[in-house]
Amino acid sequence: MTIKTGESLPETTLTKVTENGPEQVSSSDFFKGRKVALFAVPGAFTPTCSAKHLPGYVERAQDLKAKGVDEIACVAVNDPFVMGAWSKASDAGQAVTMLADGNGDFARAVGLEFDGSKFGMGKRSQRYSMIVNDGVVETLNVEAPGAFEVSSADHMIGQL
C-alpha cells in the first residue's frame, strides 16, 4: 500500500553518500526534526533523471531552502558508489544529499516500487517527490509511468 500524506515514514536503512564514503542511516534519524524535500528516481544516470530531475533540484536548491526546506535528498535503488559517482558527474555536491536504497527496502516500504525487469532494470523506485516534515509526509507527488511533471523541483516550490 502506498504511503499517504499525514503518515510517518516507515523505518528502513538507507545509505547516505558522504565525502568519507558510504554511511548507513536509519530513515527515522535522517528525517527527524527537520523538513526534507525528497525526490526519488528510477535510476542514477538514466536519461530523464540525469537531464531533468536531479539538475532541477540542484539549480533550485536555494529557492527550496528559502521556502523552509532544511535538506534536499535524492533516493534511488542504486548502490552508494553509483549514487556517489552520479553526484560528482552532476555537480550535485552540497545541494543534494544522495541516498542509496540498494535493495529497494525504502521503495517497497513506502509502496512505491515498480518492476522494471522488462527494461533490464529489475525492481526500482517509481518517480516521485515528497515533503517530509519530522518524519511525516506532508505532500506526495507520484508521477504517472513515463511522466516527469509533478515530481520536479519547480512543482515542489509551487507547493511550498
Take residue 42 and report the three cell numbers written for it.
528510477
User: Per-residue pLDDT averaged across 39-44, rounded?
Assistant: 93
pLDDT tens digits for range 4-39: 999 999 999 999 999 898 999 999 999 999 999 999
Radius of gyration of the chain (CA): 14
**What pLDDT, on the 0 to 100 scale, is given for residue 119?**
84
CATH superfamily of 13-159: Glutaredoxin (3.40.30.10)
- List the beta bridge partners of residue 133: 35, 136
The DSSP code sequence of the chain is: ----TTPBPPP-EEEEEETTEEEEEEHHHHHTTSEEEEEEES-TT-HHIIIIIHHHHHHTHHHHHHTT-SEEEEEESS-HHHHHHHHHHTT-TTT-EEEE-TTSHHHHHTT-EEE-GGGT--EEEPPEEEEEETTEEEEEEEPPTT--STTSHHHHHHH-
Q: What is the pTM of this model?
A: 0.94
pLDDT tens digits for range 93-152: 889 999 999 999 999 999 999 888 888 888 989 999 999 999 999 999 999 988 999 999
pLDDT tens digits for range 48-101: 877 789 999 999 999 999 999 999 999 999 999 999 999 999 999 889 999 999
In the set 17, 49, 100, 140, the catalytic residue is 49
**What pLDDT, on the 0 to 100 scale, is given for residue 1?**
84
Give φ, ψ of 8 to 5 degrees: -80, 145
**What pLDDT, on the 0 to 100 scale, is given for residue 93?**
85
Q: Is 71 exposed, middle or buried (0-12, 13-18, 19+ CB in 10 A)?
A: middle
**What pLDDT, on the 0 to 100 scale, is given for residue 153?**
97
Take residue 137 and report the three cell numbers written for it.
509526509
Active site includes 49? yes
39 alpha carbon, distance to own chain's centre: 3
How many angstroms separate the CA atoms of 21 and 66, rounded?
Answer: 29
